[in-house]
Structure 1
Amino acid sequence: MMMTFLIAVGSLVAICGILALLLVIADRYLNDYGICKLIINKGSREEDVEGGSTLLNSLNSAGVFIPSACGGQGSCGLCKLKVHSGAPPVLPTEEPHLSPEEVSEHVRLCCQLKVHEDMELEIPEELFNIREFEGTVESLTDLNHDIKRLRVALPEGEELDIIPGQYVQIETPAYKKTPEPVYRAYSIATDPHDKTHIDLVIRLVPGGICTTFVFEHMEPGQPIKLNGPYGDFRLTDTEKEMIFIAGGSGMAPFLSMLAHMRNENIQRKVTYFFGARAKRDLICLDEMKAFEEALPNFKFVPCLSEPMPDDNWDGDTGLVTDVMKQHCPDLSNMEAYLCGSPGMCDASVVALTGNGMPEENIFFDKFS
């Protein structure tokens, strides 16, 4: 009886999934919404776009790039714009990311909003300065068993100024995992003195559209589209002692920040707590050692939560938040910078505030 019930439930779930997919396909390919007009900033700019796509993709196709760290999946909440007309009521997928005040001000997630008719919307002027490049994959370097460093050379004669901590979006072209190009966001790991390359640190996500393409299909010499830079994650200009917390590919923005500190002879004290499961998950140890030599007030503290017997590990062990609390019992006059998953960042905020750090002194870049 129980087996029959489970089979029935499984069949129902499968049928619902198929119906949802068919609805998406029907809306995308069968409904003809024609050409719709995007009326931007009270008519200062207008764009004609093909109806039926998301507002995010429609703007991208018109050369207007809106930040979206999750690549349009509705999980990061960054692609907020004010839409004054032409939009349906707020969708359930938008509600977790919108405050009541934002809803009253017509703020929407443009990755969730479909363009079915003419729309009037507001776009911050600074986003019109976001640029798109078609660079070239210069190299792909293994940092460990599931993380690569991707180096992109910008087109000859082009330069990109970045603030350490910012990110870019790269385009994954259509291939077997996606019928159309998609964008994903990655923090910039580049030394900001190098304006002709973009370095990204990418961890393989099983089944991930972009990471699978990078690991299985990308080769040096291939063209690659990217746009940016985006984001306001950056060092403050105070003299407060700093804590960095990240693991895995979350190291990317800190590589750029530390290079900036070295270049500008910034002598603020900083301790970087890097969390990994086992020794095989550590990355960039030689670079961290070089930064310690160049920055006398910098200390790198790797810690392993589950070291393997043959790791012969004599460093710190445990969760990165617990190790940080042991090293830094009083954080009342310090700042913290976090980069990683929402779970890691949230746990770090709890640990930091628990040891006395004011929440306004905590800055983070959450993966989505």
Structure 2
Amino acid sequence: MSSYSIALNFEDGVTRIIDCQPGEKVLDAAYRNKINLPMDCSDGVCGTCKCRAESGAYELGDDFIEDALTEDEAAEGLVLTCQMTVSSDCVLSVPTSSTACKTGMQSFAATVASVQPHHDAAIVLELDMDAAAPAFLPGQYVNITVPGSGDHRSYSFSTAPGERRAGFLIKMIPGGLMSGWLAGAAPGDKLTLTGPLGSFYLRDPVRPLLFLAGGTGLAPFLSMLEVLARSGSDQKVHLIYGVTRDLDLVLVEQIEAYAARLPNFTYSTVVAEDGSAHPRKGWVTQHMPADLTAGGFDLYLCGPPPMVDAVRHWLDENGIRPASFHYEKFTPNAPAAQAVA
């Protein structure tokens, strides 16, 4: 039987993904992968190794005492990694930093495969991994070091985990550090990635999903949609993709392709600019589905801070409480000259 993947999400935003054999304790699997998860007794007595299971199927057995893990805690998803065995891929939240567990971000060498501009709005950057494909959760991001600068920029994967060719949707910023480098980039150029990072990732789709993307905040949703399509998910998914100008609407044909692969996937595009002839004008909050019910859906939101704040205000104003709400704000980096001032 093949091994399972365990994603360990640390408090400092670092994610490490390890393999765990059938019947192997998660704590032992972490040690085998040179990650020292918190522990003391390793016998289910002290509770030091307590983590939270965010998703996945697992067993805890009976070899631990109530003082280490109560029934209420177990019912809420808390686990003892020294007793935990898994029967599927799992995601665990570890209540400490990665450095405290003697691990940290991984680095990956990559080669530029293609640089595809989309008007003056965005660039699709495709990278071939020089070694093993990085493991990450759909929706997470990496830091990409800008050659010759000693600085980095953060971008979400737009492709699914495990691919040797990774994709990123990058906003073009006049005078921007990465935008400037990409203007002269060519296939064969080398880059270094570190990560993965972030708590914005797709959880188990157990109820309808509402995705709200602002501009290049579309990227993580493309990764999520690919994972949902490959898994054969029949969960209802609706994406609202909002931009400022008509030219900012990119990769719509890729979104349309998911409508053919996911039977219950729908989407709409929205343009804010007054002069646009787009059929749906304004902000994403003006085009929310009419059938939203409290607790009946999971909401994922990725966009600039004003959009995130506007959606949160709209939810409060309308008394709508998603079953879960996951969001990520991104702020375009300042032009290079300003960034070093």
Answer whether TM exceeds 0.5 for this pair: yes
Query: TM-score band, normalised by the shorter chain?
Result: 0.5 to 0.7
Aligned to 2:103, what secondary structure does the other structure show?
helix
Please report how far the alpha carbon of residue 280 of structure 1 lies from its aligned counterpart in structure 2 after TM superposition: 1.8
* Paired residues of 1:333 and 1:357 also in contact (CA < 8 A): no
Q: How many Å separate the matches in 1 of 2:321 and 2:257?
A: 31
* Paired residues of 2:142 and 2:196 also in contact (CA < 8 A): yes
1:13-92 to structure 2, matched below 5 A, reads none
Structure with the greater alpha carbon radius of gyration: 1
1:143 aligns with 2:143: no
Please report how far the alpha carbon of residue 224 of structure 1 lies from its aligned counterpart in structure 2 after TM superposition: 0.8
CA shift in 2, pair 1:238/1:282, >3 Å: closer
Which structure 2 residue ranges, 5 or more long, are not aligned? 1-11, 15-95, 332-341
Q: Could you say which residue in structure 1 is the equivalent of 2:171?
A: 203
CA shift in 2, pair 1:122/1:356, >3 Å: closer
What is the TM-score when the length of structure 1 is the normalising length? 0.60
Q: How many Å separate the matches in 2 of 1:238 and 1:197?
A: 26
Q: How many Å separate the matches in 2 of 1:129 and 1:256?
A: 23
Q: Could you say which residue in structure 2 is the equivalent of 1:218?
A: 185
Q: Deviations over 1:147-187 (max 9, x none)?
A: 011001111x422122101101000123xxxxx41011111
Please report how far the alpha carbon of residue 264 of structure 1 lies from its aligned counterpart in structure 2 after TM superposition: 0.4
Q: Could you say which residue in structure 2 is the equivalent of 1:41?
A: none
Q: Could you say which residue in structure 2 is the equivalent of 1:254?
A: 221
Please report how far the alpha carbon of residue 123 of structure 1 lies from its aligned counterpart in structure 2 after TM superposition: 4.6
1:158-173 to structure 2, matched below 5 A, reads 158-173=132-147
Q: How many Å separate the matches in 2 of 1:219 and 1:142?
A: 12
Q: What is the identity, as a one-letter code, of the residue corresponding to 1:188?
A: F
CA shift in 2, pair 1:230/1:358, >3 Å: same
Q: How many Å separate the matches in 1 of 2:191 and 2:155?
A: 14
Please report how far the alpha carbon of residue 266 of structure 1 lies from its aligned counterpart in structure 2 after TM superposition: 1.3
* Paired residues of 2:133 and 2:162 also in contact (CA < 8 A): no
More helix by share: 1
CA shift in 2, pair 1:266/1:126, >3 Å: farther
CA shift in 2, pair 1:288/1:331, >3 Å: farther
Q: Could you say which residue in structure 1 is the equivalent of 2:24?
A: none
Equivalent residue for 1:130, pick from 105, 118, 123: 105
Q: What is the identity, as a one-letter code, of the residue corresponding to 1:181?
A: G
Q: Could you say which residue in structure 2 is the equivalent of 1:53?
A: none
* Paired residues of 2:207 and 2:235 also in contact (CA < 8 A): yes
Equivalent residue for 1:267, pick from 207, 215, 234: 234
Q: Could you say which residue in structure 2 is the equivalent of 1:335?
A: 298
CA shift in 2, pair 1:126/1:284, >3 Å: farther
Equivalent residue for 1:239, pick from 206, 215, 218: 206
CA shift in 2, pair 1:362/1:171, >3 Å: same
Q: How many Å separate the matches in 2 of 1:355 and 1:267?
A: 28
CA shift in 2, pair 1:222/1:244, >3 Å: same
Q: Deviations over 1:26-63 (max 9, x none)?
A: xxxxxxxxxxxxxxxxxxxxxxxxxxxxxxxxxxxxxx
Please report how far the alpha carbon of residue 258 of structure 1 lies from its aligned counterpart in structure 2 after TM superposition: 0.1
CA shift in 2, pair 1:126/1:348, >3 Å: farther
Aligned to 2:223, what secondary structure does the other structure show?
helix
1:294-305 to structure 2, matched below 5 A, reads 294-305=261-272
CA shift in 2, pair 1:359/1:296, >3 Å: closer
Aligned to 2:220, what secondary structure does the other structure show?
helix
User: How many positions carry a matched residue from both structures?
Assistant: 239
1:190 aligns with 2:154: no
Q: Could you say which residue in structure 2 is the equivalent of 1:364?
A: 327
More strand by share: 2
Q: What is the identity, as a one-letter code, of the residue corresponding to 1:147?
A: A
Q: Could you say which residue in structure 1 is the equivalent of 2:76?
A: none
Q: What is the identity, as a one-letter code, of the residue corresponding to 2:161?
A: P
Q: Deviations over 1:222-280 (max 9, x none)?
A: 11111111112112225221111112210000000000000001111111111122322
Q: What is the identity, as a one-letter code, of the residue corresponding to 2:155?
A: Y
RMSD of aligned C-alpha atoms? 2.4
1:280 aligns with 2:254: no
Please report how far the alpha carbon of residue 210 of structure 1 lies from its aligned counterpart in structure 2 after TM superposition: 2.1
CA shift in 2, pair 1:277/1:289, >3 Å: same
Q: What is the identity, as a one-letter code, of the residue corresponding to 1:358?
A: R
Q: Deviations over 1:173-219 (max 9, x none)?
A: 23xxxxx410111111112252x1221100012332223222x2322
